[in-house]
Amino acid sequence: MRVTLFDYGAGNLHSLAKALALAPGVKVHVEEDPLRALDTDLLVLPGVGAFGAAVARLAPGAEKMRRALDDGLPCLGICLGMQLLFEGSDEGEGQGLGFFRGRVTRLTSKHVPHIGWNSVEEDTALRDEKPGTVYYAHSFVCRAQEPDVVVGWTTHEGDRFPASVRRGKVLGVQFHPEKSSAAGVRFVHAFLEEVGS
């Protein structure tokens, strides 16, 4: 399986690439061009950076990327990558891919950013793997307008928001599985197995 990390120039991709490469039969490729990133078996939108800057890097290929997702290209969006799957964000200008309806807004809790371990509630993201407690590092969250796409929830100081969203082979997670110890790596590998079968 060829897995492509789309690099929008913001974050350290090393730990994510390492977690992906541990899965049997997976070859990880990092690509800065959003159109060339679509030549893959699985697209990964990684989780570090600012919405506006990431959208600007995505813009030349956004329409084709959205069409590829609609046509069934498997995709894993992590933290910022999940937020890019939505329509827009209060964090920065520009349009997301709009694969999920809704907007990204700032956490309403007292302590922002939300950094640390928290549980995933009502988790139905994957058939056979429930990561339980996972690592978060974010100030903004997705507010999904379609409740049926939310496949996991979490709460930070009274602000309840989607921990994960999914439609078909497109999964977005607000947490960082690559920083969530062995359970997070198992979660990523279970998703690869699910969409690759």
Residues designated catalytic: 79, 176, 178
Q: Are strands 42-45 and 114-119 parallel, antiparallel or unpaired?
A: unpaired
Give the three-class secondary structure for 56. helix
DSSP for residue 168: T
The closest alpha carbon to 172, from 69, 71, 78, 34, belongs to 78
Spell 96-119 as b/e; 16+ CB within 10 A means b.
bbebbebbbeebebeeeebeeebe
Q: How many CA atoms lie within 13 A of 35 on its CB side?
A: 4
DSSP for residue 36: G
